[in-house]
Structure 1
């Protein structure tokens, strides 16, 4: 893979075009979160159906990451991101026109395909564009910070936007999708004029997944940390609004969007606040905030209070965001430069499995066990898993630095 030499001004503008497009598509991924209770009330399905519809996106993303996520290393970044945005527009139109469960599942699978095309490619593209615009800043953490904030900041804005539109604009199960489809279409135009950074004529080594010497342990540890960080995000994305409505009696669509917004916004905010901090220190801080937030969230179920639930979501989200940023940074360090997108694609497959599988298990268990004790078990499992993953990552990092 050869990175092209490009004019600084165009790459500087393109950097922000790609960052905003990345955020907008991720916002679409969580857009239905405050709408799930509306679908439930209309079609009389339970948390299991909600989780299945949510997990359909995870399945689509996993397939897309696995089969397409590496292609930008060979064919170019823009040539993969532009189709990803186009698929996102199609998904939004499908969900607006076909608001029944089969249509939601089809739309969510397409959403996952779009995310799979976007996430690893955009992360690599931002690194390329920033390097081309600022060659004197080799090794800067700005691209990774921007990527992480665009990813999780977008996930935060989706539920807030949908909740506001559902609360105050007619046609809540249609309007949100159409609004974001228009936004993504505009961003597609901007991405189309962003310079390409990869020369497709260069002969790559043909490997989708290549690590630096000694990078295997570092990558494996980072991927497991990403799994547990996204498990928390998956819970608030798929079932956060359902819990607020069913357990705390919240009926406002806007307020229903606040739980996932609090988690993802705190995640992005923590990354901005602690951006310069070294990845291993971020993991330590995140591993403390993560279980603390889960404990507060569980407390809110035993002593119902909206403010307590939102506080717990924010604290846990901040911890998860720091863990995610550290894991992405470690993954990029472990990757061979010519396979950066391919390695990130595998990382995101594992992270998105974390977003889907624990939430599906949670929705199965609450059919037979009360929500509060299930949440205690869920929080305990995530806490222990995160502690083990972070401990392994820190030990691996110490060995790698010797």
Structure 2
């Protein structure tokens, strides 16, 4: 019986990874479309950032209120609704292409992401352990999770940029396509074995929403801070990268506009694949080195506007952020009590997504009153210093 169940868990592992990646791609899908919305509706960088940030707010609310539920009700029972909400958000964005519809659709997107991210990360760990009980402690689930997360975030802007460049109805086509992809993956996820089933045990004790292993509180706090700063960089390229490429570099092609966030997220995923098996300390040190260098190159590209330098900075900074995020997420899983893994990951993602939204909003407000290039220098310095401090604290806590 055990032998028969393993192929289901192994196959389901990849179904969940693809579903995770598709929903994350949907989260960044509008990135190269922001200038199109901006030109049509005549709003500036602050409105663009707010439209982006409402997704972050929706995700934070979803993480906080719902992200732990898979520890109690089961992983599949949470991922399936996440995909349903994502499909609904895509249809809203396609059918209601005005600012109110954009905000409603992005809030729904955030709710879907909040349901998906922590649950999928925990589900992948469960499925891999069930399929390969002889590989306890394998880094494959966390590597797959982080690559699905950041790889999906990378593919979203590239896909939307390509579709908007060469197909009609740019504010509709990409949403309809992703809705179809998520619908197909919903069917596959529903066929995946459940790994947590608590519905039948009425008298069973409910797992705590947030429980850490003894002595792991400071490790979790430091890891969450690393996640905050890593996602702050991703938030910048997701919300304002397209505006910078179009406005500062004078490039109007939606395909090229989508390259900046794609480059950052793709470099993040690639760095994790290349260095995924490296010790945690090495990931943190390498990430904290690449991160400020990339930010410095990005800032320099604004003083001497060049797409090549801007993309190089995005790649270096993205690679550093990816390594930092992987190490932080891994340490969070290790710090969590096994019965509360999804709940602990939900709190981690709340903090990380706050990093994706809040600094970008502050940045968009500051550039209304100050020049973009010096603001980028200050933004980069704050992120770099905060990241280094969080990394040093995390390294001291790693056993």
Question: TM class, shorter-chain normalised?
Answer: over 0.9
| Structure 1 segment 387-398 matched on structure 2, within 5 A | 387-397=388-398
Structure-1 residue corresponding to 2:55: 57
Structure-2 residue corresponding to 1:377: 378
Aligned-partner Cα distance in 2 for 1:126–1:283:
23
RMSD (Å), alpha carbons: 1.0
| Structure 1 segment 36-75 matched on structure 2, within 5 A | 36-75=34-73
Structure-1 residue corresponding to 2:254: 253
Q: Is the 8 A contact 1:17 1:190 kept in 2?
A: yes
Per the TM alignment, residue 5 of structure 1 is displaced from its structure 2 partner at its CA by 10
**Does 1:345 pair with 2:346?**
yes
Structure-2 residue corresponding to 1:165: 163
Counterpart of 1:136 in 2: which secondary structure?
coil
**Does 1:29 pair with 2:47?**
no
More deviation, 123-132/277-286 = 277-286
Aligned-partner Cα distance in 1 for 2:34–2:327:
31
Q: 1:6 to 1:346 in 2, by over 3 A?
A: farther
Q: Is the 8 A contact 1:95 1:177 kept in 2?
A: yes
Aligned-partner Cα distance in 1 for 2:105–2:21:
19
Structure-2 residue corresponding to 1:307: 308
Q: Is the 8 A contact 1:126 1:143 kept in 2?
A: yes
Structure-2 residue corresponding to 1:193: 191
Per the TM alignment, residue 205 of structure 1 is displaced from its structure 2 partner at its CA by 3.9
Q: Is the 8 A contact 1:74 1:204 kept in 2?
A: no
Structure-2 residue corresponding to 1:289: 290
Aligned-partner Cα distance in 2 for 1:6–1:225:
41
Structure-2 residue corresponding to 1:271: 272
**Does 1:105 pair with 2:103?**
yes
Aligned-partner Cα distance in 2 for 1:262–1:168:
20
Structure-1 residue corresponding to 2:88: 90
Aligned-partner Cα distance in 2 for 1:105–1:6:
46
Q: Is the 8 A contact 1:293 1:312 kept in 2?
A: yes
Counterpart of 1:385 in 2: which secondary structure?
helix
Per the TM alignment, residue 6 of structure 1 is displaced from its structure 2 partner at its CA by 7.6
Per the TM alignment, residue 206 of structure 1 is displaced from its structure 2 partner at its CA by 3.8
Per the TM alignment, residue 395 of structure 1 is displaced from its structure 2 partner at its CA by 1.5
- Once superposed, which parts of structure 1, at least 4 consecutive aligned residues long, lie more than 6 Å away? none
Q: What are the ranges of 5 or more consecutive residues in structure 2 without an aligned counterpart?
A: none
Q: 1:138 to 1:206 in 2, by over 3 A?
A: closer
Q: Please list the CA deviations of residues 230-265 of structure 1 after superposition, one character each: whole Å capped at 9, or x if unmatched.
A: 000000000000000000001000000000000000
Q: 2:151 aligns with which of 150, 153, 161?
A: 153
Q: Please list the CA deviations of residues 46-101 of structure 1 after superposition, one character each: whole Å capped at 9, or x if unmatched.
A: 00110000000000000000000000000000000000000000000001111111
Aligned-partner Cα distance in 2 for 1:256–1:268:
20
Q: Is the 8 A contact 1:6 1:195 kept in 2?
A: no
Per the TM alignment, residue 204 of structure 1 is displaced from its structure 2 partner at its CA by 3.6
Q: Is the 8 A contact 2:295 2:313 kept in 1?
A: yes
Q: Is the 8 A contact 2:71 2:207 kept in 1?
A: no
Q: What are the ranges of 5 or more consecutive residues in structure 1 without an aligned counterpart?
A: none
Structure-1 residue corresponding to 2:7: 9
Structure-2 residue corresponding to 1:319: 320
Aligned-partner Cα distance in 2 for 1:98–1:268:
33
Aligned-partner Cα distance in 2 for 1:71–1:283:
31
Aligned-partner Cα distance in 2 for 1:16–1:293:
32
Q: Please list the CA deviations of residues 276-306 of structure 1 after superposition, one character each: whole Å capped at 9, or x if unmatched.
A: 0112210100000000000000110011110
Q: Is the 8 A contact 1:6 1:132 kept in 2?
A: no
